[in-house]
Structure 1
Amino acid sequence: MRSTSRSMCRMVRLVLTLVLVSACSASEYEYLSWNYGKPPQCWDIPDDLRLCHNVGYTQMLLPNLLEHETIVEVKQQASSWVPLVHKNCHPGTQVFLCSLFAPVCLERPIYPCRWLCEAVRDGCTPIMEAFGFPWPEMLTCDKFPQDEVCIAMTQPNATDATRPTGYSPICPPCDNELNADAMLEHMCASEFAFKAKIKEVQRENMDRKVILQKRKKMVKQGNLKKKDLKQLVLYLKNGADCPCQQLENLSNQYLIMGRKVDKQYLLTGIHKWDKTSKDFKKAIKKLKTYKCPAFENVF
């Protein structure tokens, strides 16, 4: 059993290129409960599991560590997290999520380290809040191991120098201007969308207040009523100081997206209305038929 444990540790180091916190001896494996109806089995990670198909290993355990028992269920639930990985809010985001959605196929499940969860949570929560989503209860970091064997990506004392190349602290709803995939992701995180010009932008505490001109052309109405549309004011959450080129040029027309959170309307996406752009035309064409992930967390 001790040699098997050592083999498991070598496999994780080799396949995941991760850090295993704590020594690898049989007595130190204290796994969280594994009380599912089905015994865990190895499955090939399908190419259309976009969150994890390139994570660094090819097989995963089912049921996974979030109690999903089928590949179909995993794909459905994992798809809503792909946009968050694209935001580059923390370099360990994909590793952390895939260790739960598609755990590496070993004899026993190995959970992510608590500090990795906390680092990803702290890095990504501002991004999620910009779209009106809280850190979900199913990813509460306190339930993950702290001193036992666990999956990590960088050392616990890692600094911002570990952020991926190209990381930029921009306003999440403003990034990837005229990129079709980003526009569709923003649309999926939004309840409504319309074409409009901006009248004024004001700073309000840590947010930016976006006041629109009266004339608006609906693209996606959602639950937004006409009376609400007339006096609509949007807020760029926690965006008082982050750069947003779209909010600096008030002469352009924009595709503006938003959603209501509590009693406030949040700006969830803004892209220049530019019919000369191939990406813009592609996104607008696909909006009516594009199938968004049908789950609550879309970033």
Structure 2
Amino acid sequence: MGELIGMGLTDYYCTRVRFSGGRWCVLTIATDQSDGFDDTEITCFDGLLDHIGVVLELHVTKRIEHSLLDTYLGERTGARVMHGHIRRGDGETIRAALWFSDVRDFTVLTETLSVEQLLDSLNVYFETVERAVRAHGGEILRFVGDAMLIVFAQENDQTAETVCENALRAAKAALADLAKVNKDRSKGGLPSLRFGVGLHYGEVVYGNVGGTHRLDFTVMGVAVNRTARLESLTKQIGTPLLMSDVLASHISEPTVCCGDFAVKGVAEPLTVHALESALPFAPASEAKD
């Protein structure tokens, strides 16, 4: 109440409004009129409650729907579902910077932490990455256990350089933020959280796939597989962040070529780059295919 007074408000009307199914919602109305609400206005409010309830329930329901879809599907995907793109096979071809990341030594974590500690650790990791990704225009498309598939979709007014730079900035921010988190975890006797991330840029199919009764929005294509394979090389090369030569060509930060690597499911060897600032690690001449 003190906060309302500080805002210059003089009176406060509070009541409950009935929703369908026997549910109730709290309705509050405040005024800055010098004399507050008079009896006529309060009587008017009371008489309008049934009508207000109908309109208010529609707004509350829509807000809940948006919140649920954004939380469980992502902002871009949730919006597509809200607009009726729910038919199996609906899809489009988009260009995007792609991110695939995976927690390091996850098996060790599962064996050394309690269930509660493991879930808390994963949530800390996911939250740290999510914060960096959202700040740079990305969308978490899928959690696969402790792995994450993220897209930085190239909108009509964006260039390849824009989304690739955004993906790189997000990855660097997430790695830096997690390093800070690990300092606090160390003080509490908890193991550090580390992850590897692969970045690529390419064309993917973004669409609705699944069975008759269970659908999922996802991205598919060669570019997705290459992104995942890039991440798998981070252990071998010894640096947490790797990218394709395609993405490296669209960023301004200097990179170093780590070599060409034959990976599962990709016909031709991947030319892999890392940030020059990440040196030292195994140079291209020492990297093993």
Same fold (TM over 0.5): no
| Higher gyration radius (CA) | 2
* Greater share of residues in strand: 2
* Greater share of residues in helix: 2
TM-score, normalized by length of structure 1?
0.22
Q: Answer 1 or 2: higher relative contact order, Cα 8 Å, separation at least 6.
A: 1
